[in-house]
Chain A
Amino acid sequence: MDFPGYTNRRLVIALAACLVLALVQPTVAHHSFAAEFDANKPVTLKGAVTNLEWANPHIWLYLDVKNDDGSVQPWQCEGGPPNTLTRNGWTKDSLKIGDQVTIEGVLAKDGSKTCNARLVKLPDGRSVFAGSLGGDNPPPPKQPH
């Protein structure tokens, strides 16, 4: 397929987004989302991965975000369960320590530097759905194009 003016790569990303939506398990918030996170407080974080806990019931992603003054602020973000992410094409090696990522998510209600990740832009440019669908979880963010 050739769409002049649009790279095939973008089309692939868009189709991948469709695929992710199609394959994503409907759910899998193992605990209450609304009790912890505020769906009305979106956040975008850019930083370097410092650790990835690929473990049940939810993965945890840790990253160092550089502030405007050059200081570094550590953040932690919760994602979906490893099984769900595996079925959606993730692996435990999708992110490595030091990788630069961009996370779109929502903030924790307690004001800590904690987020619930919805979309993670990987080092290779792919944006992948990172979280859970359904229940009181907000819908996945729009895929960037």
Chain B
Amino acid sequence: MRLHVIAALVLVAPSFVLAQRGAGPSAAPPAPAPHFPDGTPNLGRDPGEKGIWNVPWVRNMGLRIDKTEAGTDLPSSGGVVGLVGHDLKRDGSRFEPLVPFMPWSAAVYDYNVANESKYDPEGYCLPPGGPRMMATPYPMEIIQLPEQKRTIMTFEGATHIWREIYMDGREHPKGDALNPSYLGHSVGHWEGETLVVDVVGFNEATWLDYSGHPHTDQLHVIEKFTRRNKNVLHYEATIDDPGAYTKPWTVAWNVPWRANGELAEYICQENNQYLFRLTDDFGQPIFGKRP
């Protein structure tokens, strides 16, 4: 009997978590999204408080296309908290009819699926790139500097990165002036309650997600950040890559606020033994044997 009580506590705990994180019914309605005195939404902390955005692990963006308004798909994630776009059974391009693959991108994707994301660049401690910044499960913060006409986003992981979003109305650099980079060149503006960020200039060293959707340097991402209430940041990304996909596709999910959270240091490169154990398709070490 008492064992049942304890077992029930253990079993029920995750549902409490869901409720706390806004994924289930909760008793009190969440506080509204905070705003600055000029009416601009505040995507960060109120003065004097802590808090971070608890970025979920969006494992497969191909499963987030028809759910741009539904913030989460926890039921298909087996109820694992914070996990979005997760369904092992659907892995592979033929199970993702909503992703507008080209033949080559489908083939590369299926290769990445077949080897269980063995060659995921994030496994090498390389930055996430593109929309995967908001799909790599380490906390992040948004720091708005309106007087400087820019916004900074800082990410604890996967490689302790930051990005700068120019809010001064500038355009992207043209031609050779646009140096390909992991996080791209970002310009932003407000459309009502939504921060819209246009990003180009990505290199080809990253995947779109853990599952292994590829992209080219023609990738153009339009991101929309909307703080629906104090505790929920709705994130939407339109992936427009004419080098890899036949038309743009849009994915979305919710990012919960973790009150009292603070960022910590995370230097992925410190002791990445995965590299020493990594072998190629023929079983040969890629980066050398374990010392």
Question: Which A residues form the contact surface with B (CB < 8 A)?
Answer: 3, 5-6, 10-11, 14-15, 17-18, 21-22, 24-28, 30-32, 34-36, 53, 55-58, 60, 78, 81, 83, 86, 110, 133-136, 139, 143, 145
B118 and A32 within 8 A (CB): yes
Q: How large is the interface on B (under 10, 10 to 19, 20 to 34, 35 or more residues)?
A: 35 or more
A17–B6 alpha-carbon span in the complex (Å): 10
Q: How far is the CB of B40 from chain A (nearest CB, A)?
A: 30
Q: Is B270 a contact of A18 with CB atoms below 8 Å?
A: no
The smallest beta-carbon distance between A119 and chain B, in angstroms, is 13
In the assembled complex, the Cα of A10 lies from the Cα of B6 at a distance in Å of 9
Report if B185 contacts A (CB, 8 A): no
Min CB distance A70 to B, Å, is 28
Interface centre among A3, A17, A134 (most CB of B within 10 A): A134
Q: Which of A36, A56, A134 contacts B268 (CB 8 A)?
A: A56
Q: Can you give 17 contacting A-B residue pairs, CB < 8 Å? A: A14-B6, A17-B13, A21-B13, A21-B17, A22-B13, A26-B82, A27-B57, A27-B82, A28-B157, A35-B117, A35-B118, A57-B125, A57-B266, A83-B138, A133-B83, A134-B57, A135-B210
Which A residues lie within 8 Å of B220 (CB)? none
**Minimum Cβ distance to chain B for residue A9 (Å):** 12
Cα-based distance from A92 to B256 in the complex (angstroms): 29
How many Å lie between the Cα of A145 and that of B122 in the bound state? Answer: 37
Tell whether A32 pairs with B116 under 8 Å between CB atoms, given A26-B56, A27-B57, A83-B264.
yes
Determine which of B16, B123, B157 lies in contact with A22 in the assembled complex, contact meaning CB atoms within 8 Å: B16
Distance A21 CA – B80 CA, assembled complex (angstroms): 10
Contact yes or no, A145 B3, CB < 8 A:
yes
